[in-house]
Amino acid sequence: MNKLEDIVSLCKRRGFIFPGSDIYGGMAGTWDYGPLGVSLKRNIMNEWWNYFVENRDEVYGIDAAILMNPRTWEASGHTATFADPLVECKECKSRFRADKIADGISEAVTTEEFLATHTKCPVCGKENWGPIRKFNMMFTTHVGAVLPDDEAEIANKNIAYLRPETAQGIFVNYKNVLDTFYPNLPFGLAQQGKAFRNEISPRDFILRDRECSQMEIEYFVKPDTWEENFEEMRKLQRDFLENHMGLNSDNLHEYEVPEKDRAHYSRRTVDFMFDYPNGEEELMGLAYRTDFDLVNIQRESGKSMEYRDKNTGEVFIPHIIEPSIGVERLFLAVISTAYIEDEINGEKRTVLKLSENLAPYKFCVSPLLKNKPELVAKAKEVYQLLRAKYGNVTWDDSGNIGKRYRKQDEIGTPKCVVIDFDTLENDTVTIRDRDTTDQIRVSIKEL
């Protein structure tokens, strides 16, 4: 597996990802996506949406607000339980998430368990720790007009949270969809959107950050069918990751999360783990949430969350299967898999072997020489033809043709189309393949 720093360097050098607000010194846990990063990220998200929503009759899309009534997070348990174990070094005052700096402990670690690991501070190297404290990861904000002398009132009445997950936006719209579409069970509600988590120690590039994009489905099922629906969704997730994202099956591992490490709402969770450059980390989760969320909403809101079966008349609260994935984690898995360093004719090169459905550009069009007006004019004609047909096509006439090839290899463009003097004679062009570097001539009409 490639080194993470090589991938980070490529991402910044070629305009995939930049440190957030870098010009002002940056902000830990935030990242900005450049032109190529935006394109790759959108392609990933579109593939997920097509696979899990557009190509399924029983899954519907929604887009809920980021700011929600604070009662949402009280009913879901987030205000009470959405916390990480924080520990502070007494020597240098650095703060860390305890279960990420010590081996063999979970998020439920106690102070005694942590101290027994004899972990040294990653900053100063000392072993002098304070007690474990629970740190709620939700960002708080205030809604409405604010005056300096209103602070006490604001703290009690105007508080709001940036959502830490997209799932609750789906749950609060379950009844809206039921009343307007009344779909048959099983059915799913899908959402893509931003989520915010005040991570204690963001790290590992985009793997653990404070602002991320999530893609989630809440799949509503009959209580006695949850196991078969869970298994079906598990197979779909693996198929999507391997055959649509191009991830190597050898780098994917399914982990049955033990009860003590599961979220408070989950009766069963399977995490899809991935071998990232920095080690194995969670990529995608699949949780059986039972009726936990709908029961809580029914209790807190006083509104019925029951479903009436159209055929049998049976009335019950559906149970929920939840496949969830962070876009940034999937982005890093895709680009880590695609990143290759090889040698062509004795010359080393870096190449992103992205599949065509994900690559930021499908084609790069170039005139062999940019100082020959007739070649440039013909190349522009081909460029416009391909752009109208495929959309994501780029133009490059900088440097010699070899340097253009190397640049396009690095950003993952599958095919380079070169217009030369033979093109002017017979309307054929040279197509160069990114992965093999083989070149063939084809008619412009065949492009």
Question: Which amino acid would we find at residue 107?
Answer: E
End-to-end Cα distance, the chain: 35
Q: What is the mean pLDDT of the chain?
A: 91
Same domain, 305 and 230: yes
Within-domain flag for 124: yes
Within-domain flag for 343: no
* Tokens representing residue 359 in the block: 């690559």
Q: Indicate the pLDDT class of residue 399, thresholds 50, 70 and 90.
A: confident
Same domain, 289 and 208: yes
Which residues in 401-423 are b (16+ Cβ under 10 Å) and which e?
A: beebbebbbbbbbbbbbbbbeeb
Question: Which amino acid would we find at residue 196?
Answer: F
What pLDDT does 55 receive?
A: 95
How many CB atoms lie under 10 A from the CB of residue 151?
A: 10
Q: What is the CATH classification number for the domain harbouring 390?
A: 3.40.50.800
What pLDDT does 266 receive?
A: 85
Same domain, 141 and 245: yes
Same domain, 311 and 193: yes
More confidently predicted of 106 and 66: 66
Same domain, 38 and 73: yes
Same domain, 324 and 291: yes
Same domain, 115 and 260: no
Kindly state the helix (H) or strand (E) to which residue 100 belongs, with its residue range. helix 98-101
How many CB atoms lie under 10 A from the CB of residue 430?
A: 18
* Tokens representing residue 137 in the block: 């990861």
Return the percent helix, strand and coil in the chain, to nearest 5: 35, 30, 35
Within-domain flag for 9: yes
The position carrying tokens 């990420």 is 100
Residue that is last in its domain, among 95, 120, 136: 136
Dihedral angle of Cα 374, 375, 381, 384, to the nearest 10 degrees: -140
Report how far residue 273's alpha carbon sits from residue 281's, in angstroms, rounded to the nearest whole number.
5
Same domain, 278 and 166: yes
Report how far residue 221's alpha carbon sits from residue 167's, in angstroms, rounded to the nearest whole number.
16
What pLDDT does 343 receive?
A: 85
Q: Please state, for a pLDDT cut of 90, what percent of the chain lies above it.
A: 69
C-alpha angle 273/277/278, rounded to 5°? 80
Report how far residue 61's alpha carbon sits from residue 216's, in angstroms, rounded to the nearest whole number.
10
Pick the range with the lowest mean pLDDT from 138-147, 294-303, 330-339, 350-359.
138-147
> Does residue 72 contact residue 159 with C-beta atoms inside 8 Å?
no
What pLDDT does 151 receive?
A: 57
Same domain, 9 and 44: yes
Same domain, 168 and 32: yes
Residue that is last in its domain, among 301, 319, 335: 335
* Tokens representing residue 82 in the block: 């959405």
| φ and ψ of 4, to 5 deg | -60, -35
Same domain, 436 and 305: no
Report how far residue 260's alpha carbon sits from residue 326's, in angstroms, rounded to the nearest whole number.
23
Question: What is the number of residues in the chain?
Answer: 447
Question: Which amino acid would we find at residue 399?
Answer: G
Within-domain flag for 340: no
Report how far residue 243's alpha carbon sits from residue 238's, in angstroms, rounded to the nearest whole number.
8
Query: pLDDT per residue over 221-266, tens digit each?
Result: 999 999 999 999 999 999 999 999 999 999 999 999 988 888 778 8
Q: Is the peptide bond before 186 cis (omega within 30 degrees of 0)?
A: yes
What's the total number of domains in the chain?
Answer: 3
Q: Indicate the pLDDT class of residue 84, thresholds 50, 70 and 90.
A: confident
Closest CA to 292 of 272, 262, 326: 262
What pLDDT does 3 receive?
A: 87
Q: Please state, for a pLDDT cut of 70, what percent of the chain lies above it.
A: 96
Q: What is the CATH classification number for the domain harbouring 187?
A: 3.30.930.10
| φ and ψ of 379, to 5 deg | -65, -40
Quote the longest CA-to-CA distance of the chain. Answer: 80
What pLDDT does 187 receive?
A: 97
Residue that is last in its domain, among 318, 335, 352: 335
Q: Indicate the pLDDT class of residue 153, thresholds 50, 70 and 90.
A: low
What pLDDT does 138 receive?
A: 84
Within-domain flag for 154: yes
Within-domain flag for 325: yes
Within-domain flag for 219: yes
Q: Indicate the pLDDT class of residue 66, thresholds 50, 70 and 90.
A: very high
* Tokens representing residue 290 in the block: 């039972």
Within-domain flag for 342: no
Kindly state the helix (H) or strand (E) to which residue 156 belongs, with its residue range. helix 151-157
DSSP secondary structure letter of residue 24:
G
For 15-162, strand residue ranges (E) read: 17-19, 31-33, 59-61, 83-88, 95-97, 133-136, 140-142, 159-161
Query: pLDDT per residue over 161-207, tens digit each?
Result: 899 999 999 999 999 999 999 899 999 999 999 999 887 777 789 98
Question: Which amino acid would we find at residue 281?
Answer: E
DSSP 276-313: ETTEEEEEEEEEEEETHHHHHHHHHH-----EE-TTT-
Query: pLDDT per residue over 85-124, tens digit each?
Result: 889 999 898 888 888 888 888 777 889 889 999 999 988 9
pTM of the model: 0.88
The position carrying tokens 């949780």 is 287
Give how far the C-alpha of residue 311 lies from the chain's centroid of Cα atoms, to the nearest Å: 39
What pLDDT does 142 receive?
A: 80
* Tokens representing residue 184 in the block: 């048959």
Same domain, 191 and 255: yes
Report how far residue 179's alpha carbon sits from residue 185's, in angstroms, rounded to the nearest whole number.
14
What pLDDT does 1 receive?
A: 54
What pLDDT does 2 receive?
A: 65
Q: Show the domain range for 403.
A: 361-446
pLDDT at 147 over 80: no
